[in-house]
Amino acid sequence: MKKGPKVAIQGIKACFHEQAAYKFFGQDIQPVECTSFKHTCEVLDKGECDFVVMAIENSIAGSLLPNYTLIREYNFAVVGEVYLPIQLHMMALPGVKFEDIKFATSHPIALRQCVDFLDDYPHIQVIEGSDTAACAKKISDEKLTDTVAIANSLAAELYGLNIIERRIESNKKNYTRFLILKKEKTEEMRDTSKASICFQVGNHVGALSKVLNIFAERNVNLTKIQSMPVLGKRNDYYFYVDVDWKNMEEYDKAVRQALKYTVNFNIMGEYQKNEKV
């Protein structure tokens, strides 16, 4: 029986990246557990997996800025996106009560999504971990009776923990957007409706608006813009832009025109728009 693609995820079994991978590819995949986002890129770069699933933004915590840099530096192709609703629960060993808690541990991005809840309990010390599911596993493995993990219900079930507070995320309409990355760009995907683009513009009045107006004039919709400083160059920025369209020909014309007014223009990926949460 043929196995599905190898997909690198940041985290271990029952983490949100694994959930996102299953949502995008289906159940027939081989998850490759990695300790960091950089690790997932290294695995893909070495050909030890077929795809990477990488979180890029959260509706509460915002963009994961270092991940934009990783995608650009490794020159990976963005071939898809997936949105995952994020429900975060506080979990502990069976028998542990809320008043026993001294420490709460989770991934830094998950902790940022629960800041309103955690601010109400200043006596609980927050400890950043490598991954939501790994924090749950550590409590289970080390029998920590004074520590809770903040993770999803799958982690609680898998690692034998009790959920003592449900849905502690600051906004109940919390979701994370993940990008699907591949090592090489492929030309066969032309039934696309969205793109992730990176470029620089000159440091003068109207330079950026000129480029963005080119897309607007072609009815290409700007869905996101993110700026990142160019390392070591004051006032120079990379602009990461997501656009979608209904007419591929108009998008192609906009890209050709934008090339004249930008530097280091790079289409990181063209893919099918997917906003189902």
Domains of the chain: 6-85+174-182 (3.40.190.10), 89-165 (3.40.190.10), 194-271 (3.30.70.260)
The model's pLDDT over 61-116, given as tens digits with 9 standing for 90+, comes to 999 999 999 999 999 999 999 999 999 999 999 999 999 999 999 999 999 999 99
Chain-centre distance of CA 106, in angstroms? Answer: 16
Residue 244 in contact with residue 51, Cβ under 8 Å?
no
Longest dimension (CA), the chain: 65
pLDDT in tens, 218-269: 999 999 999 999 888 888 999 999 999 999 999 999 999 999 999 999 999 9
> Cα–chain-centroid distance for residue 268?
15
| pLDDT recorded at residue 3 | 81
List, in order, residues 6 or more apart from 160 with CB less than 8 Å away.
Answer: 93, 94, 140
**Cα 158 to Cα 57: distance, rounded to the nearest angstrom:** 26
Helix axes 65-74, 37-45, angle to 10 degrees: 10
- Taking the C-alpha atoms of residue 273 and residue 244, their distance in angstroms, rounded to an integer, is 7
The residue behind tokens 């200043």 is: 122
| Angstrom distance (rounded) from CA 49 to CA 41 | 10
